[in-house]
Chains A and B, each alone.
Chain A
Amino acid sequence: MKKIAILIAVTSFFIFASGEKAQAQCKQQRVYHCARKGGNAIYLRDFNTKLKAVRSERSINGTKWPVVLNRGTRYRFILCTPSGFGNDVKLTLFDSKHPETRPWNSTEKSGGNMFDFICKRSGVYYVSIRFKQGKGKRKTCAVGILSFVGKNQ
């Protein structure tokens, strides 16, 4: 019995120790499929988040990431959510002059799951993925994609 116990413990350790790689591969699949929705745009980076249910104002709603954009480039932002959650979540692009409450754009504002943005000032911008209206009854996950459409000459 003792030997079986040790065997199970050792086996489970090895199974779960490779968890990080498996998790990375799973994430890669989600990101890869979302990136492909951008058409001919070239994938640059992704924004991956797990959204916990938000029932009160004190709960943390989503995540924000800083992102450096280059002047003169047309970028594409895409939001992917599991089926059934598309209307609950939004991706927002903002910066210090256009805060999240008055952003450059969001998937909610533009009414779809993607939008393009021509950067006219090189610098740090922010992307957030959050529940719309600040609240979400069910936990979910979401992937945002930033891709390169072209130079705006």
Chain B
Amino acid sequence: MIVDSFFTINSIMIKKLIFLFSLAIALSSCGGDDDDEVITADDMQDDSRAVQIDPEKINGLIESFPSPIEMAATIEDLKVPYSKKYLVPTEVAGDFDSNFEKALGLGMLSADLGYLNVYARKNAIVEYLTSIKRMADALDVDQFFEFQTLKRLATSSNDLDSLMTLSVMSYHDMDEHLRKTRRSSLSALMITGVWIEGQYLACKVNQFKSDKSTEEIIAGQKEILSGLLDVLTFFDDKPRFKTMNQQFKDLLKLYDKVEIKLIEGEDKITYDQDSIPLIEPGEHTDIIYTEEDLKNIENKIIQIRNNLISL
């Protein structure tokens, strides 16, 4: 009898333990791949309109945007000399107060970090990593920014490829986390920061030494800017977005004069020395613009970027 009740009590306890353990797993699994996470009141307020409209659509558009390193890699590939004066000064970034400014700054500095990475400027890399870390902390995405590893790679390693790869991966993880936690407006600001800083770099490079490839990079952004505005206008009901979006709408008007012609052609498949297949579409676009059109677009991009960092 005593033994029976002992087993009964123990089995109740074991059931309780199993229940508590399962509860802990269930709670923790909310941070998994597919589930939404806990949303703070601030976040809900920050992203409420987006959630009402279509978060899937916004997130898809945001996700499609180019990586923070792409423009820098393009510029470096064109053999343009390095210049730190093109970048957002870290002292200026230190003055970004609101989440709006920090998310925008996080995008801009990530593009600048990409630029420093491709030009292998180790000292400046640490300075920009520190600034990015500060913003990531404030936006509560610092857990995805591998600051110590990146700093170690920048200071005591010659493996700059790893530094470059890990810093871009950190950027994508931070961006993904913002979207998962329903802070798409901050994610939209990050891609805006990356895009405008990339274009600003291209404009400054083109002003330094004009080149057909750089010109076409700037003039060829019509469709991409239009996509960016599709994202940003979701947040038009927020006063700060509305003011910023108007500047991008004015820029898009300047692109009206740029004509993009689609030319048909035959696709080519070749193999390089490593036997990697290379697909070269026959169908291509011709970008038609005047020198004046380009100058107006460049001036507007520089103006918007400078306005944004002096918020």
Interface, chain A (partner B; CB < 8 A): 1, 4-6, 8-9, 12-13, 15-17, 19-21, 23-24, 28, 31-32, 35-36, 39, 42-46, 50, 65-68, 70-74, 76, 97, 104-105, 110, 112, 114-118, 120-124, 146, 148, 150-151, 153
B279 lies within 8 A of A68 (CB): no
Residues of B within 8 A of A150 (CB): 77
Q: Is the CB of A28 within 8 A of B64?
A: no
Within the assembled complex, what's the spacing in Å between the Cα atoms of A23 and B67? 22
The answer to whether A122 and B285 have CB atoms under 8 Å apart is: yes
Question: Is B216 an interface position by the 8 A CB rule?
Answer: yes
Q: Which residue of B lies closest to A104 (CB)?
A: B279
Decide if B239 is an interface residue (CB 8 Å cutoff). no
Which residues of B have CB within 8 Å of A45?
Answer: 67, 168, 172
Interface string of B203-231 (1 = CB under 8 A from A): 00000000001001100110110010000
* Measured CA separation A118–B66 after assembly (Å): 16
| Interface pairs A-B: 3 shortest CB-CB | A16-B28, A20-B31, A120-B284
The answer to whether B223 touches A123 (Cβ under 8 A) is: yes
Interface of B is mostly: helix
- Which listed residue (A35, A46, A73, A122) contacts B74, Cβ 8 A? A73
A117 and B279 form a contact (CB under 8 A): yes
A19-B32, A122-B223, A124-B227 as given contacts; A70 in contact with B74, CB under 8 Å: yes
Q: Are A71 and B70 in contact (CB-based, < 8 A)?
A: no
**Judging by beta carbons under 8 Å apart, are A43 and B32 in contact?**
no
For residue B13, CB closer than 8 A to chain A, the reply is: yes
Interface set of B (CB-CB < 8 Å, partner A): 13, 16-17, 20-21, 23-25, 27-29, 31-33, 37, 60-61, 63-67, 69-70, 73-74, 77-78, 118, 143-144, 146, 161-162, 164-166, 168-169, 172-173, 213, 216-217, 220-221, 223-224, 227, 262, 269, 272, 274-281, 283-285, 287
Residues on the A chain within 8 Å of B118, using CB: 42
Which residues of chain B are within 8 angstroms of A1 by Cβ–Cβ distance? 13
> Which residue of B is nearest A78, CB measured?
B276
Query: Given contacts A68-B66, A112-B277, could you give 18 more A-B pairs where the C-beta distance is less than 8 Å?
Result: A24-B143, A24-B144, A28-B166, A28-B169, A44-B168, A45-B67, A65-B63, A70-B217, A71-B287, A97-B283, A115-B276, A115-B278, A116-B276, A120-B284, A146-B67, A150-B77, A151-B74, A151-B78
Shortest beta-carbon distance from A130 to chain B in Å: 18
Contacting pair A66 B64 (CB below 8 A)? yes
A19 close to B224 (CB less than 8 A):
no
Taking CB atoms, residues of chain A closer than 8 Å to B64 are 65-68, 124
Q: A13-B28, A19-B32, A122-B224 are in contact. Are A44 and B284 (CB under 8 A)?
A: no
Q: Is the CB of B279 within 8 A of A32?
A: no
Q: What is the CA–CA distance of A75 and B284 in the complex, to the nearest angstrom? A: 16
Minimum CB–CB distance from B311 to chain A (whole Å) comes to 26
CA A44 to CA B66, docked complex, whole Å: 8
Contact of B281 among A104, A146, A151 (CB under 8 A): A104
Contacts of B66 in A (CB 8 A): 44, 68, 70
Q: How distant is the Cα of A4 from the Cα of B21 in the complex, in angstroms?
A: 12
Q: Are A17 and B28 in contact (CB under 8 A)?
A: yes
In the bound complex, residues from chain A placing their C-beta under 8 Å from that of B74 are: 70, 73, 148, 151
Chain A CB count within 10 A is highest, among B64, B146, B220, for: B64
Chain B residues near A72 (CB, 8 Å)?
213, 216-217, 220
Contact partner of B31 among A19, A65, A105, CB < 8 A?
A19
Contacts of B77 in A (CB 8 A): 150-151
Contact: A118 with B280, CB < 8 Å?
yes
**Contacts A19-B29, A44-B70, A66-B60: A118 and B262 contacting too (C-beta < 8 A)?**
no
Contact of A122 with B21 in the complex, beta carbons under 8 Å: no
Tell me whether B277 and A21 are in contact (CB under 8 A).
Answer: no
Contact of A123 among B164, B224, B278 (CB under 8 A): B224
B24 near A71: Cβ-Cβ < 8 Å: no
Write the nearest CB–CB distance from A85 to chain B, whole angstroms: 19
B285–A21 contact, CB under 8 A? no
Residue of B nearest to A114 (CB): B276
Residue among A42, A70, A124 making CB contact with B69, cutoff 8 Å:
A42
What separation, in Å, do the CA atoms of A24 and B280 have in the docked complex? 35
Contact residues in B for A31 (Cβ distance below 8 Å) = 169
Min CB distance B253 to A, Å, is 19
